[in-house]
Chains A and B, each alone.
Chain A
C-alpha cells in the first residue's frame, strides 16, 4: 500500500515549543489569586496518625487552608489514597497545607504536630512471607480472593521453604495467589536434553519522570478547570470527574504537554484530588508542585521480583517446557506483574508447556504500578542470559536458537494461548544479525589486558494494540481539516502520528491540517490510557474510521447536490467530485458549509449511539462548526497485537574496576508498518536507554532497619546519563504490515526497552564466560566480586536491600 503520510517523517507541531521553551507544562500555568499547597508526608514506614494538631500552623499569616484524609471520600483499602491517616510507606502524603506562597506553606508544615502510632514494617517480600514475619498491613501481606471479592490476608511460607527459595530451589508445597499453566509440563520436560534451573532477583525502581507531577485547578460556574500531567489527554476525564464527584461535562482537563510518563501517568493519580477539593473548598485556584523526593515517593515504581525458573530444551533446540515462580514486591499498593513476566516468556520462546506460580507481597515501600514493560522487561533481562546458557549447553549458536523458537504468525500468546494479529520475529532476527554483523562480533578476539568483550542478544515482547476507541475529524467551512485527538502529548509524538491516518484517508495536505488537542473543552474524543505500547495501533484505527465517516458524508453531500450516488464520487485535492466528470464536485470547504446547513449527522448535531460519553460531549461542543466525522473503531480485531523487538549489544568490561562500557547497540523493531520513522527511532533508542538503566544502574535501596529509602534523588536512583550509553545508538525496523491495522502498524515502546536490557545482561554474561548474575541491575561491585571469586552478592535472593 502506498501512503501519503504513513512512513514519512514530519515535524510534529509541538516540537518547536519544546526547543524554544514555549511549550507549557502543568506547572507553567498560573491563575490570578492562586494559592499553593504543600504536602506533609509520612516519616515512618508503617503506622497510624492518631492526632493532627495544626492549630499553630493555621494561625500563621498567609496560611489559608488544610486538607486531611478526613476531608476526602474514603479511599479503597489497601490502595494508594491521596491523603491517609494509615501510613504504609515513608513519604506517603498525610495532609496538604495551603498558603499564599509555597514558602509560607512549607514553613507552616513545620508547625504541625503529629501523633503517630508506629506499626511493624517490612521491606523485603520474603521476610514478610516467612512464618512469623511482619505484614505490611495489620490484616495481612497479600490480596486474596474471597466470596466477597478481593481482601487482604496473611500468607506465610514455612521458614525452610523460604530458605530453599532464597537459595535457588523450588520452595515446594507452598501457597500462591496466582497460578496458570498450559500443556503437559512433566511430559514436556521429559523430552528435554538440556534443563536449566536458576534463581533470580530484579530490583524495583521509581519512574522519575523529569517533570514532577504538578496539579493546578480552579472552579468557575460549577465547572472544574484542571491542569494536570498525564499520558493520555482523554482517558483521565471520566475517573477524574468521579474522583471530584462531578459530572463529566463539568470537568475541563487541560494537558498540553506531559514531561514523561512511562506508565506512571496512565490514569489520574490519587493526589490530583487534593487540588480539586482544595480549590473547591477555598474557591481559589490551587497548585500543588511537588518536589523530586515526593515524585520518588508518590510517582510510582516498578515492582521487584524474586524468582526461580526451570527451562527445558529438546535436542533440536526447541523450548519444550518452562516452569517459573515469581514473588513480586508490591510495595504499599501490592502491585506485582509476575503473570505478565511469565506471559512474556510464553511469547518469545513459544514453549509447548508452561506453568506460572506467583504471589505479590505488600511491603512498606513506595506504591508500585505499571512501568514501561511491567513484568516483561525485567523478565527478559533475566531470561536471556539463562537461555544463552541453555543454548550453549546444547551447542547451538545463540541467535540460531532464538530464530528456531521465534514467534511467527502462528504464535500463541500467554496463559490462554490465544493468537496474534501477526508476528515476524525471525525477520527481525535476520535483519539484526546482518546489521550488527553477529558472526563477526562473536568471533572477534575477546580479551585485551584487563578488558574483556561480551556480545549479547535479547528478545522482548509486550502487547501493543487495543481497539474500540473513538475518533473525530472536522472539516471547517474555511476548508481546513481539524484533527481532534484525545491522545496525550507524553513525548512519543503519537498524538500527531496517529492523526496522520485521518489525513491519509482524507487525502488532504498535511499543512492544511490542524491538530486539536490539549484541552477537553476543544472537543476531544475518548482515548486509551496510552499504556502498554498501544497508541499507534489503537488510534491509527480510531482516526481511520472517523475519517472514513467524513469521506462517506462528503460523498453523500455531493451526491445530494450534484446527483448520482455515493459510489459515483471520489475524493482528491481536498475536493469531492464525480469520478466520471471530475470537474463536477465540491471543495471540502463547500461541502463543510453544506454540512452545517444540513445539520443532523453531517454537522455533528447527531452522532452514533456507540461512542463514548466523552466523545459525545466533544461532538456536542463542535456541532454546527463544519462537517463532522465521528466513529467508534469497530474494525475487526482477532488476537493480540504484539510488539516485538530484538536487541544486540557489545560490551567491554574492565575486570580491574568492574565498570563496563556498551560499545555498540542495535535495536530492531517488529511493530508492523513504521508510521513515523523519527518517532520510532526515539522509541527504540529511548527504550534502549531505559533498558541500559535497568541492566546496570537503577534500583530501590531501602534501609531494612528503619524502612527508609536511601536513594530518592536522581543522582542516587541513577537513570542513565549521556556517559552511560554507547556514543551512537542504532535502530532498525522490519516494517511488514499487520493485517489488522488499516495502516499496518503496531506499537513498540515497551519491548524497545526489554530487548536492550536483555541484550546487555546477555553480553555481560558472555563476557564473563557464561557467568549468570541472575540479577538486575548488574553493578560494578558485583562484577568485581565475581572476578575475585567472592560470592557476597550472589548468595541469596534479596530485593530492595543490596
Chain B
C-alpha cells in the first residue's frame, strides 16, 4: 500500500474526530511530509470561541492559517500576512493580536476569540456588531472583522472612549476603502455615546 495514503488516512482520521473538516486531502499529506525530525507535539488543543478544538498544527504555523484553513473560521482575513493591515485581528485572552503573526503553538493555554465568537449562541449580534451594522460601518468589508474585534477589545478596557482614543486604539487596522469615519461612529454608538 502506498505509505502516503496510509499516513493521510491516519491524519484525516485524527483530525476529523475533533476538528472541522476542511478542503482536500492534500493539506494533510503536506503536513505529514513536513514533519520535522524532532517535532513538537503537533496534535494540540486550543480554545477558540469558548470551545476546545483539537487540531494538527505545524511548528511554524500561524494562528491565521489554523483558524482559516483548519477550523473554517474564515472571518479572520489575510490582507497582508505580514503584520501590516490588521484584517486578521483576533483576541487572545481579550488582547488584540494579529493572527498572521502569532504562532498557533503559542496560544495553547490561552483563549482565542475570533469575529465568529462574538455573536451569542442564539444568534444575537454582539453590541459592537449591532452598532457597526446600525452605522453601516463596512464598505468592502474585508477589514471589518478586524475592526470589530479591535473595538470589542477597546471597550473592554475603556467603555467610553473619546473619538480620539478610539482612533488611536484602532490605528493598527487599515481600511483601504476609507470607511474610518463610519467605524468611529460605530465605536461611539457601541459605547452609548451616539444615539
Contact = CB atoms under 8 A, between A and B. Distances in A.
Interface of A: 9, 11-12, 14-25, 27-28, 30-36, 61-62, 99-101, 103-104, 208-212, 257-260, 262, 291-292, 490-493, 678-679, 681-682, 685-690, 713-715, 719-723, 725, 727-729
A62 B33 contact: yes
Contacts of A210: 77, 79, 85, 87, 140, 142-143, 174-177
Contact of B171 (A21, A491, A723): A723
A725 B163 CA distance: 12
A682 to B, nearest CB: 5
Interface string B65-109: 000000001111111111011010000000000000000000000
Contacts of A23: 141
Interface size class of B (residues with CB under 8 A): 35 or more
Contact of B30 (A101, A257, A685): A101
A33 B177 contact: no
Decide if the interface of chain A is mainly helix, strand, loop or mixed.
loop
Nearest to B26: A100
Interface string B152-186: 00000000000110011011011111111110100
Contact of B74 (A24, A208, A211, A491): A24
A18 B144 contact: yes
A30 B74 CA distance: 11
24 contacts: A20-B75, A30-B23, A33-B24, A34-B26, A100-B26, A101-B29, A104-B30, A210-B79, A210-B176, A210-B177, A211-B140, A211-B142, A259-B141, A292-B80, A292-B81, A292-B82, A491-B140, A682-B177, A682-B179, A688-B178, A713-B80, A719-B176, A722-B170, A727-B163
Interface in B22-49: 22-27, 29-31, 33-34
Given A19-B144, A21-B116, A292 B79 contact: yes
A19 B82 contact: no
A21 B24 CA distance: 23
B95 to A, nearest CB: 19
Contacts of B182: 678, 681-682, 685
Decide if the interface of chain B is mainly helix, strand, loop or mixed.
loop
A208 B136 contact: no
Contacts of B180: 685, 689, 722, 725, 729
Contact of A21 (B75, B80, B164, B173): B75
A32 B140 contact: no
Given A12-B136, A30-B24, A292-B81, 11 more contacts: A19-B141, A21-B76, A24-B74, A25-B142, A62-B33, A100-B26, A101-B26, A210-B79, A685-B182, A713-B84, A728-B184
Nearest to B119: A20
B142 A35 contact: no
B148 A19 contact: yes
Contact of B136 (A61, A682, A715): A682
A16 B134 CA distance: 10
Contact of A260 (B81, B82, B177): B177
A288 B74 CA distance: 17
A210 B78 CA distance: 9
A211 B79 contact: yes
B101 to A, nearest CB: 13
A725 B166 CA distance: 13
Contacts of B179: 682, 685-686
B178 A687 contact: yes
Contacts of B164: 727
Nearest to A715: B84
B33 A104 contact: yes
B140 A259 contact: yes
Contacts of A491: 138-141, 177
Nearest to A17: B141
Contact of A690 (B4, B73, B167, B178): B178
B129 interface: yes
Contact of A686 (B31, B133, B139): B139
Given A62-B29, A101-B30, A210-B87, A19 B142 contact: no
B58 to A, nearest CB: 8
Contact of B24 (A24, A32, A211): A32
B28 to A, nearest CB: 9
A356 B116 CA distance: 54
A21 B115 contact: yes
Contacts of B30: 62, 99-101, 103-104
